[in-house]
C-alpha cells in the first residue's frame, strides 16, 4: 500500500507535541505539505524543526494561532487558504470530580475540544468540496464511548465530536470529500504520563507504572499497554489518503481493544 499525499496541504491543530506531532510527521512522510499549529510561535517553530529533522526535505509550515477563538481560526485560514487535509487534533483533558466541574470549565472544554474543530471544518470544507477532494478528521477518544468517571467533561466533549464528524460528512456527501472521526485509545502522551504518575506514583519504573495503570484504571484494554502516538498517526495517515476514499461518516477505532464492542 502506497500512501502518497504528494501535492496535498495538511493542517494539524495542536501538533507541537503528542499525537498531533506524530500525525504531522506521518503526513510529511507520506509527502504532504504540513502546517504545524499551536498557540505560541516559538513552540510551533521548534515543533516544525523537529518534523524537518525526522523527515528530511519535508515541506513544513509553522502556523501559530489560537484556534479556540474565532479570530485565531480566521488568522489560520488566511495563512492557509487552501487546505486539502484538516486534522482537528487539538484537545485538553484533566481529571476532576464530576460534581466539582463548573459551568466555565464545561464551556472551556467545548470551546477547545469541539468548537475549534467545527470552526475550521466550516472554513475549509467548502474549498475542498469545490476542488472535489479533501479529508477532514476529528481526533476523538475511547472516552467518547466509555465516559471516564474522573473526567466526564472531557468524555462528553469527545462524544460530541463523533456527531460533528457524522454531520459534516452528510454535508459533504457526493463531493469527493470524506469526514471521519478517529477513536484513539489510551495513548502515551505527556499529559497521560502525568495522569499515570498521579494514579500509580512518581517513583515506580515507567514500564511497570503504565502496566499497573492499565490494569487498575483501564482494565478494558486488550493491548494492556499505552498506545504510542505513531500508532494513532498511522491510521490518520491512511484515512487521509486516496486509499480511504470509501470511508466517510465513520468513527474508526485505534483503541487497543479498549471499547468493549464488536462494532464502532
Catalytic residue ranges:
154
Phi and psi at residue 195, to the nearest 5°: -65, -40
Secondary structure class of 170 (helix, strand, coil): helix
Place of cell 476542488: 131
Query: Within 10 Å of residue 44's Cβ, how many Cβ atoms?
Result: 21
**How far apart (Å, rounded) are the C-alpha atoms in residues 217 and 148?**
10
C-alpha separations of 86 from 34, 40, 72, 115, 153 in Å: 10, 20, 16, 14, 24
Amino acid at each position: 500500500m502506497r500512501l502518497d499525499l504528494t501535492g496535498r496541504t495538511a493542517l494539524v491543530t495542536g501538533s507541537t507535541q503528542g499525537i498531533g506531532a506524530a500525525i504531522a510527521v506521518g503526513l510529511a512522510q507520506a509527502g504532504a505539505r504540513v502546517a504545524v499549529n499551536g498557540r505560541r510561535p516559538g513552540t510551533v517553530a521548534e515543533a516544525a524543526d523537529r518534523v524537518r529533522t525526522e523527515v528530511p526535505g519535508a515541506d513544513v509550515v509553522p502556523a501559530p494561532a489560537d484556534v479556540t477563538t474565532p479570530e485565531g481560526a480566521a488568522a489560520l485560514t488566511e495563512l492557509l487558504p487552501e487546505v486539502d487535509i484538516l486534522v482537528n487534533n487539538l484537545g485538553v483533558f484533566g481529571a476532576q470530580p464530576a460534581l466539582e466541574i463548573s459551568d466555565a470549565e464545561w464551556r472551556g472544554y467545548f470551546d477547545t475540544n469541539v468548537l475549534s474543530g467545527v470552526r475550521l471544518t466550516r472554513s475549509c470544507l467548502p474549498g475542498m468540496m469545490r476542488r472535489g477532494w479533501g479529508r477532514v478528521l476529528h481526533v476523538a477518544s475511547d472516552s467518547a464511548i466509555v465516559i471516564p468517571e474522573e473526567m466526564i467533561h472531557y468524555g462528553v466533549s469527545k462524544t460530541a465530536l463523533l456527531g460533528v464528524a457524522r454531520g459534516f460528512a452528510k454535508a459533504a456527501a457526493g463531493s469527493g470529500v470524506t469526514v471521519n472521526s478517529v477513536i484513539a485509545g489510551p495513548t502515551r502522551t505527556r499529559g497521560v504520563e502525568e495522569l499515570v504518575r498521579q494514579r500509580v506514583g512518581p517513583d515506580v519504573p515507567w514500564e511497570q507504572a503504565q502496566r499497573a495503570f492499565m490494569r487498575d484504571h483501564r482494565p478494558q484494554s486488550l493491548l494492556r499497554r499505552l498506545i504510542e502516538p505513531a500508532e494513532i498517526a498511522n491510521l490518520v495517515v491512511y484515512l487521509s489518503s486516496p486509499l480511504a476514499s470509501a470511508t466517510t461518516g465513520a468513527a474508526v477505532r485505534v483503541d487497543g481493544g479498549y471499547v468493549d464492542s464488536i462494532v464502532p
